[in-house]
Amino acid sequence: MNTHTPSTTTVESTQKASFSSRFHVRSISGLIGLILVGFWLVISVIGPMLSPYPPNDFVSNTVFGPMSMKHLFGTDYLGRDIFSRVLAGTPYTIGVALAATVAACLAGVISGLVAAAATSWVDMTISRTQDALISIPSKMFALIMVASFGSSVPILILTAAIAYMPGSFRIARSLAVNVMTLDYVQVARLRGESMPYIIFKEVLPNMFRPVLTDFGLRFVFIVLLLSAMSFLGLGIQPPEADWGSLVRENIGGLSSGAPAVIMPAIAIATLTIGVNLLIDSIGSKSVQH
């Protein structure tokens, strides 16, 4: 099977053109991205085990305490340990966003493949619906969902997944339409292969890399959306807290520059910047196209 789709060949050729001039900055920022992403993925799994205090216990008499050996990231507005609370927040921030991203990309890619393979009438219907969904700004959609169904983890995952599915659909559909016209797919059709065989064995493997890049981008958007919802008090509900809720809870400590509000914000920023740097170094060209 031919693994050189048009998209990967253009990626390689553009990469060669600007390779020497950009090699340094790209590889260094890509490495930083890789380290940040790897770090947070490990923390999201083992983080809660490293927690020095129970995240919801009042362990200090000082509110908005400074960084110290006893409390690495200081204490929050109720005297809870922020380091433990940031660790406890990782499964919410990273886990929930990851679940939503997987759902969004799966739904997007599957509907994209169906639209590309199906008759024009089915394609038309799916494309119109996805276009309508994409024209509801994601935060607006999240507000409507939360106002109607309340805020819970399953609703948040569903909301983020629906809000970011259309973008994934667009990319998957246009990739699949391109791949479908290539010779080896035509040959497979003439051989009399079934549609599922063509989609899974011929088309899908050749869309893998751009879809993966898109997955990373979508993950960043979803982390930002869910943090923003928590920051507005409409995301993860107390006593549980993701990083967005931690920023919101401790916003009162902003005037004194308390680490309680700064550290969770840094956590979000390092995660999203890390993913973006990584994507930028491996696939920025395929996104531009």
Partner 1 sequence: MNKTVLRLIINRIGLGILTLWIVSLVVFFITNLLPGDAAQELLGQAATTQTLDALRAKLGLDLPLYVRYFHWLGGMLVGDAGTSMVNGIPILQLIWSRLPNTLLLAAFVTLVSVPVAMFIGIVSAMYRGSWFDRYINILAVCAVSVPEFLIATIAVLIFAVKLGWLSALSHIENAQTFGEMLKVFAMPVLTLCSVLVAQMARMTRAAVIDQLSSSYVEMALLKGASPIRMVLRHALPNAIGPIANAIALSLSYLLGGVIIVESIFNYPGIATLMLNAVSSRDMPLIQACAMLFCFGYLVMVLIADISEIVSNPRLRK
Binding site for partner 1 (CB under 8 A): 18, 21-22, 25, 29, 128-129, 131-133, 135-140, 143-149, 220, 224, 227-228, 231-234, 244, 247, 251, 254-255, 257, 261, 265, 268-269, 272-273, 275-277, 280, 288
Which ranges constitute the DSSP H helices of 58-119?
Answer: 82-90, 96-117
**CA angle, residues 21, 25, 27, in degrees to nearest 5:** 105
Q: Token pair of 240, please?
A: 């549980």
Q: Which is nearer to partner 1, 96 or 199 (CB)?
A: 96
Nearer to partner 1, 63 or 267 (CB): 267
* Shortest Å, Cβ 29 to partner 1: 6
Cis peptide before 239 (omega within 30 of 0): yes
Shortest Cβ 190–partner 1 spacing (Å): 35
Name which of 3 and 255 has its Cβ closer to partner 1.
255
- Give Dmax (Cα) for the chain: 76
Candidates 53, 136, 36; CA nearest to 94 is: 36
C-beta closer to partner 1: residue 86 or 179: 86
114: nearest Cα among 136, 129, 98, 132? 129
Least separation in angstroms between residue 280's CB and partner 1 is 6
Give min distance, CB of 80 to partner 1, in A. 20
Q: How far is CA 170 from the centre of its chain?
A: 17
- Smallest distance from the beta carbon of 73 to partner 1, in angstroms? 16
Residue 174 has φ and ψ, to the nearest 5°, of -65, -35
At residue 77, the 3 state secondary structure works out as coil
**What three-state secondary structure class fits 81?**
strand
Residues paired with residue 80 on neighbouring β-strands, in sequence order: 58
Q: Which is nearer to partner 1, 56 or 174 (CB)?
A: 174
4 or 128, CB closer to partner 1?
A: 128
* Residue 109 or 142 with smaller CB distance to partner 1: 142
Q: Dihedrals φ, ψ of 270, to 5°? A: -65, -35
Min dist. Cβ of residue 258 to partner 1 (A) = 11
Q: Which of 188, 198, 208, 133 is nearest to 166 (CA)?
A: 133
Residue 116 beta carbon to partner 1: minimum distance, rounded to whole angstroms:
20
